Structure 1
Amino acid sequence: MVKVESTEEKEMAYLDHFAELRKRLLWTALIFIIFFAVGLYFVQDIRDFFLNDTDLTLHLIAPGEIIWIIFTIAFIVGLTATLPFFCFQLWLFIRPGLTSTERKASLAYIPAIFILFLSGLVFGYYIFVHLILPFLLSLNDGMFETIFTVENYFRFVFRVTIPFAVLFEIPIITMFLTSLGIVTPKFLVKTRKYAYFILIIIGTMISPPDFFLQIIVAIPLIILYEISIVLSRIIYKKKMDKHEAYMQEDSNQEER
């Protein structure tokens, strides 16, 4: 009988956690819809912002292209603006299982995630406008008439900026994994050459087939990895110091 009650209590606990997670995801979805609508309202201003940095004349060859760009811009606005709220809701969900110190430390991740994501978008857009696009146009050298469609141009912009926004989260992800004990600074240093190789491959996927541009794109990613190692060492040292202090305190209690 006790076992039955224990099983029922566990099932109720799981259902409560699931209901709590569902509630927070619904709130996140609602905020996303709100910012998605905001993106739709300001889509013309955002589109003009992208086009102000280029003298290209974009051509519309299918009605579906304009619909695609409108909803894509609105989606990115909604995703970016909802990101900190989603992280906060996730923090609220796991907060009961954290200590007071862990709550304060993990809460600081939220603004950092948002700032790094925005920084990645800005950096990716800067790389696209000032390096990648001019390089591609220079290859033409006036031999052919350059025609860009709306969908192709903006798809290319997002193909460069979005990966940078995601990759700029590497330091935060590394700090979080270090705090969980999944990775260590020693492991990051040991796998550095493999990480460099992967980041260079990513740089070649984002940038045009030009060695100089690929190196320029890969350098900030490598710097982010090195920053991640430094941050991982800081987190790891604090974790080890806390563990040693706990073991010392436990040893003193046993001696008493």
Structure 2
Amino acid sequence: MSTMQETFISHLIELRDRLLRAIVAVLVVFVCLMPWAGDIYDLLAMPMMSTLPEGTHMIATGVVTPFFVPVKVTMMVAFVLALPVVLYQAWAFIAPGLYAHERRLGLPLVFGTTILFLAGMAFCYFFVFGTVFKFIAEFAPKSIVPAPDIEQYLSFVMTLFLAFGLTFEVPVAVILLVKTGMVSIAKLQEARPYVIVGAFVIAAIITPPDVVSQFMLALPMCLLYELGILISRLVAKRDAVPAEPGEDEHAAERIEVTGPDGK
């Protein structure tokens, strides 16, 4: 019992260390970016500002809002830039308990997750925002002069960033489901009609009430689902190639962990 307690405590200590490293990485990037917090917010607001009437600006209804909103934006950017470190720390914590062939997925998984999440945010910023804000500006009555609140704008764009970032992770989720044996490729193909319907339902809930923005979220979700199936099929074919003698035995060995550093 004492050995089990010591092992549990050692894992808690390692979890604490991994979390601290991830937090420190985010804070370091945040401190480096703070001098340009105002410029970062201006860059984030550019898609909205380009659709507002000339001479119109955003407003801040709170006393400290002009300070805290750029700080929140900078923190979000710092987290995104430090995302590879955060994901690596998460992977390093769970990797010792995995098989050798599962651990080989570590770096590709961290790299792919980061790239796809950034790609989703970039797609949202460069394509979706312009379409959504243009639709809103054209739909608004001529008697109204829009003056968006910066805090509400931040909440809106962060929701869409998160939605598109997670949407672009669909291939990773599909590959993991197939790789772990939870779902077969045949089952994923059979579920295609349900995925398409679900994608449009999710898009209708998350995006503004216009067909274009809903389509711009649902279509990538469906295409990325197909991409995940395609990559899973390629990975399955590669794994079906006979391995060298002794390689299978080595891949099936567990890593014996006696401490937080695996020593």
Kept in 2: contact 1:35–1:78 (CA 8 A): yes
Count of residue pairs brought into register by the alignment: 241
> What code does the residue aligned with 2:26 have?
F
- SS in structure 2 of the partner of residue 18 of structure 1: helix
2:234 maps to what in 1?
234
Alpha-carbon separation, structure 2, partners of 1:221 and 1:156: 20
In the alignment, structure 1 segments of 5+ residues that lack a partner are 1-6, 251-256
Partner of 1:179: 179
Q: Residues 148-159 of structure 1 correspond to what in structure 2 (within 5 A)?
A: 148-159=148-159
Residue of structure 2 equivalent to 1:27: 21
Structure 1 match to 2:259: none
Moved more, 221-230 or 176-185: 176-185
What amino acid does structure 2 have at the position aligned with 1:198? G
Q: Which digits, 9 at most, give the CA deviation of each residue in 1:231-252, with x for residues without a partner?
A: 222334445x269999xx99xx
Q: Does 1:42 align with 2:36?
A: yes
Residues in 1 aligned to 2:101 and 2:233: alpha-carbon distance in whole angstroms: 19
1:11 to 5, 27, 36: 5
Question: Following TM superposition, by how much is the alpha carbon of 1:98 offset from its aligned partner in structure 2, in angstroms?
Answer: 4.1
Q: What's the TM-score, normalizing by structure 2?
A: 0.81
1:40 partner letter: M
**CA distance in structure 2 between the partners assigned to 1:213 and 1:102 by the alignment:** 38
Deviation at 1:113, TM superposition (A): 1.2
Cα distance in 2 for partners of 1:224, 1:66 equals 38
Structure 1, residues 42-84: CA drift from partner, whole Å, max 9, x if none? 2112112123342431012222432441232123123212221
Contact 2:40/2:70 (CA < 8 Å) preserved in 1? Answer: no
> Distance in 2 between the 1:67 and 1:193 partners?
47
Output the amino acid matched with 1:156.
F
In structure 2, the residue matched to 1:76 is 76
Q: Which has the larger radius of gyration?
A: 1
Determine which structure has the larger helix proportion and give its number: 1
Contact residue 174 and residue 232 of structure 1 kept, 8 A: yes
The runs of 5 or more residues in structure 2 that have no matched partner are 250-263
Distance 1:245 1:178, change over 3 A: farther
Instruction: Summarize deviations over 1:132-188 as a string: whole Å, max 9, x none.
Output: 100111002523222212122222222222210121111112222322222221221
Residue in 1 aligned with 2:201? 201
The residue aligned with 1:191 is 191
Alpha-carbon distance in structure 1 between the residues aligned to 2:236 and 2:7: 33
Instruction: State percent identity of aligned pairs.
Output: 26
Stretch of structure 1 that moved more, 209-218 or 192-201 = 209-218
1:90 aligns with 2:101: no
Contact 1:160 1:206 in 2 (8 A): yes
Number of the residue aligned with 1:4:
none
Q: Provide closer, same or farther for how the CA distance between residues 67 and 242 of structure 1 changes in structure 2, counting only shifts above 3 A.
A: farther
Counterpart residue number, 1:118: 118
Amino acid at match of 1:143: S
Secondary structure of the residue aligned to 1:148 is coil
RMSD: 2.6
Aligned CA distance change for structure 1 residues 35 and 135 (closer, same or farther; 3 Å): same
Relative to structure 1, the CA distance from residue 217 to residue 89 in structure 2 (aligned partners, 3 Å threshold; closer, same or farther) is closer
Higher relative contact order (CA 8 A, sep 6+): 2
Determine if contact 1:185/1:233 at 8 Å carries over to the other structure. yes
Stretch of structure 1 that moved more, 93-102 or 181-190: 93-102
